[in-house]
Amino acid sequence: MSTLRFHAIKKTLDRKPIVFEETERRSAIFGSNVFNEATMRQFLTKEAFNSVMSAVENGTKIDRSVADHISTGMKEWSISKGATHYSHWFQPLTGSTAEKHDAFFETIGNGLAIEKFGGSQLVQQEPDASSFPNGGIRNTFEARGYTAWDPTSPAFIYGTTLCIPTVFVSYTGEALDYKTPLLRALFAMDTAAVAVCKYFDKNVKKVNTSLGWEQEYFLIDRALAASRPDIVQTGRTLLGHSAAKGQQLDDHYFGSIPARALSYMMDLEVECMLLGIPVKTRHNEVAPNQFELAPIFDEANLAVDHNSLLMDVMHKVSERHNFKVLFHEKPFAGVNGSGKHNNWSLTTDTGINLLGPGKTPMSNLQFLTFFINTIKAVNDHEELLRAAIASASNDHRLGANEAPPAIMSVFIGEQLTNVLNELENVTNGKLSPEEKTDLKLNVVGKIPDVLLDNTDRNRTSSFAFTGNKFEFRAVGSTANCANPMTVLNTIVAKQLTDFKVEVDKLINDKEMKKDDAIFNVLRDYIKKSKNILFEGNGYGEEWEKEAKKRGLSNHRTTPEALKAKVSKKAIALFEEMGVMNKVESEARYEIEMEEYVLRIQIEGRVLGDIARNHIVPVAVQYQNRLIKNVKGLKEIYGKDFKKFAQEQLNLIEDISGHISSINSDVTRMTDERRTANLVEDFEKKAHDYCFKVKPLFDSIRYHCDKLELLVDDELWPMTKYRELLFTS
């Protein structure tokens, strides 16, 4: 009997929810472990406070002498909250977060010690971080990387450590993390958007990017997860026959949250409150044991940090509740995978959401300007946007079970489609006063009424307009949002910059009025962006054919998709917008390709091990039982035995067939892996892993899953889908 599997099931069945009681109002504890504005006022001198605020609001540099005051204030606050250590907290290109804790404690001779934290330790650190991926930027003789304080994301206390959000750059200034290019892209967006806003309101001085992510995840009992070597090592099941009942009855979606999961969520949410993560929504998702958590949106850099922090906190809190959180985009075949929708918008310092229709024709023209420029940006850079969400794990999700496909398209809803159709027909050149009045009254002026009903129910569009924001839905649940946010903000910033140039040209060279010029350029953009607009069901062959006709890319695999990151166009774009230089773009491409190889390599090894060392031996064991049974029948019935043993004989043969297929496929996969490992060129290596190694996973899995249906349940070593997904 398979002891681990049954032991895990028993353990799960015996569990009781860990009682969690909320003792304080959330509003009262919100942000209490964050060095936020209120705390800064309390712990900083006026000069230090003003200096931080000005750095946050205007990007000004913080003077070194002031840094000493700030660090002292931070230290006092941290110690008053029980912290003993500080850490520069950063997001290297591994995708997770990194921290190295140092104690405040310092000796001062004569056996005495004090708590110390100076300005220089706050501002810059040199972690011994030479093992993080750097894509060749830091070669061995200059392996130093620095972390530098990012004052736009406030420090926070987690456990007993003061965490200081930082960027991570090489000695020569190249970005080694996700945050640095994001900050540069947000700056580019601010600059480009403010310039365009000035057409409509001269008072706008800053445009902030907002991000509201929605995190999907699975919760699996810790014992059950531990019983599956594939979940332990790869975060997903590499095999397993689907359960008779999956999600077809839709009885989990938005249903009442199971007691154990709810306790976990409450505990998690309180941790989030302390850390200033404004979590708001929780609900069951479509697949069994799948859930979603969403916060109130925030400034993008902060929201990205919050999401990275959240994923870490989710793991930590799950241990207290005997769960394992699965962030993988497709932990179980045949049921929905997990995404991380990125809701994105732009807001001015005058309080206007630039993607929210306004109350007057002029504010609506501003809305349409940003709306249409965004569509044009996605149209022109769809391939780069696809590359921004590419990963080995997201490959499994895109295009399957209601997830958006690998094709980028923009959904805008019927009403806005009509508005664009009207705008497309405006006169080329100067508009007559009558036409302008008509436009303002009947087209631009009518947007607020019609928008309310704007939804994309089937959710298969990768980029959808949802009332006052765009929702980038193709982002995977494991992703660091900084990557897609960097690309999205860069392409829109570039587009807005070009727009400004074109409009100014019409105003200056053609002596057009400002709104005539804007209408003219927008009309032109609508004509040019038709390919990306798609209102239909983004699922299946029909759309794939249509997308191909339109010339849209459809890269189903990561190695194919990532290439767009280093196209001439992409490198020039990132350079022009000051987001990444060529070295940085190329390094990221290489790192992501290598990561892809490593992931598939690990999966291949784990699958080979499970198939050969767990599945095949059990199949043989069961086959021996059958053989014994057949022999017994023969003893009793002599030459008539076949009448009674036919089923067993068939089974014996079927099992042999599957065993021999598994063995030959595993051998082939191992050989392909060995050959691929010898390939020096990283592009070819990723290609070989993708097209030679990985396809064998499917056939190995097929035969293992067939055996699962044949072999005695008592012997089966791998915890089954119905147990993983339905035991609680």
Give me the residues that bind ligand ADP (CB under 6 A), please.
210-212, 214, 294-297, 343-345, 353, 466, 468-469
Cβ pair 334, 242 in contact under 8 A? yes
Question: Which of the choices Mg ion, ligand ADP, none does residue 212 contact, using the CB cut-off of 5 to 8 A by kind?
Answer: ligand ADP
Of the CA atoms within 13 Å of residue 453, those in its CB half-sphere come to 6
- Which partner from the list Mg ion, ligand ADP, none does 585 bind, CB cut-off 5 to 8 Å by kind? none
Could you give the CA distance from residue 681 to residue 191 in angstroms, rounded to a whole number?
39
**Hey, CA dihedral for 85, 89, 92, 98, is it positive or negative?**
positive
Residue 473 burial (CB < 10 Å; 0-12/13-18/19+)?
buried
Closest CA to 125 of 87, 81, 74, 72: 87
Q: How far is the CB of 219 from ligand ADP (least distance, A)?
A: 19
Shortest approach of Mg ion to residue 221 CB, angstroms? 28
Q: Which is nearer to ligand ADP, 299 or 504 (CB)?
A: 299
Toward ligand ADP, which CB reaches closer, 488 or 690?
488
What does 73 interact with, of Mg ion, ligand ADP, none (CB < 5 to 8 A by kind)? none
CB count, 10 Å around CB of 359?
10
Of 166 and 364, CB closest to ligand ADP: 364
Taking the complex as a whole, how short is the minimal distance between the CB of residue 300 and ligand ADP, in angstroms?
9
Nearer to ligand ADP, 354 or 669 (CB): 354
Instruction: Find, among 457, 460, 388, 16, the residue nearest to 182 by Cα.
Output: 388
Binding-site string for Mg ion from residue 154 to residue 183, where x marks contact by CB under 5 A and - marks none:
------------------------------
In this chain, which stretch among 231-239, 336-344, 409-417, 520-528 interacts with Mg ion, using CB under 5 A? 336-344
* Residue 635 vs residues 127, 630, 646, 651: alpha-carbon distances, Å: 74, 9, 15, 20
CB of 352 to ligand ADP, least distance (A): 11
Nearest CB to ligand ADP, comparing residues 79 and 450 = 450
Q: Taking contact as CB under 5 A, which single stretch among the options 174-182, 340-348, 567-575, 673-681 is the one that binds Mg ion?
A: 340-348
User: How would DSSP label each residue in 604-656?
Assistant: HHHHHHIIIIIIHHHHHHHHHHHHHHHHHHHHHHGGGGHHHHHHHHHHHHHHH
Number of shown-chain residues binding Mg ion (CB under 5 A): 1
Gap between the Cα atoms of 614 and 611, Å rounded? 6
Tell me which residue has its CB nearest to ligand ADP. Answer: 212
Nearer to ligand ADP, 99 or 471 (CB): 471
Q: How far is the CB of 280 from ligand ADP (least distance, A)?
A: 7
Compute the distance between CA of residue 499 and CA of residue 521 in angstroms, rounded to an integer. Answer: 7
Please report how close the Cβ of residue 355 comes to ligand ADP at its closest, in angstroms: 7
Going through 417-568 in order, the beta strands assigned E by DSSP cover 463-465, 470-472
End-to-end C-alpha distance for the chain, whole angstroms: 22
Q: 498: which residues sit within 8 A by CB, 6+ positions away? A: none
CB of 331 to Mg ion, least distance (A): 20
**411 or 697, CB closer to ligand ADP?**
411
**Least distance (Å) between residue 460 CB and Mg ion:** 13
- Cβ of 582: how many Cβ atoms within 10 Å? 12
Question: In whole angstroms, how close is the CB of 284 to ligand ADP at the nearest point?
Answer: 13
**Rounded to 5 degrees, what are φ and ψ at 165?**
-60, 130
Closest CA to 120 of 69, 174, 47: 69
Minimum CB–partner distance for residue 341 and Mg ion (Å): 4
Nearer Cβ to ligand ADP, position 170 or 209? 209
**Other CB atoms closer than 10 Å to residue 236's CB: what's the count?**
21
Residue nearer to Mg ion on the CB measure, 466 or 478 = 466
Tell me 177's DSSP state. B
- 295 binding partner (options ligand ADP, Mg ion, none; Cβ < 5 to 8 Å by kind): ligand ADP
Give the x/- contact pattern for Mg ion in 341-370, rule: CB under 5 A: x-----------------------------
Region near Mg ion per CB under 5 A, out of 86-94, 186-194, 338-346, 573-581 = 338-346
Q: Is 658 in the site for Mg ion (CB under 5 A)?
A: no
What gap in Å lies between CA 476 and CA 553, rounded to an integer? 19
- The span of 337-345, 389-397, 548-556, 632-640 binding Mg ion (CB under 5 A) equals 337-345
At its nearest, how many Å lie between Mg ion and the CB of residue 204?
28
| 697 strand-pairing partners | none
Q: What angle is formed at CA 215 by the lines to CA 211 and CA 217, rounded to 5 degrees?
A: 170
- Residue carrying the six token digits 């040199």: 126
Q: Which residues bind Mg ion (CB under 5 A)?
A: 341
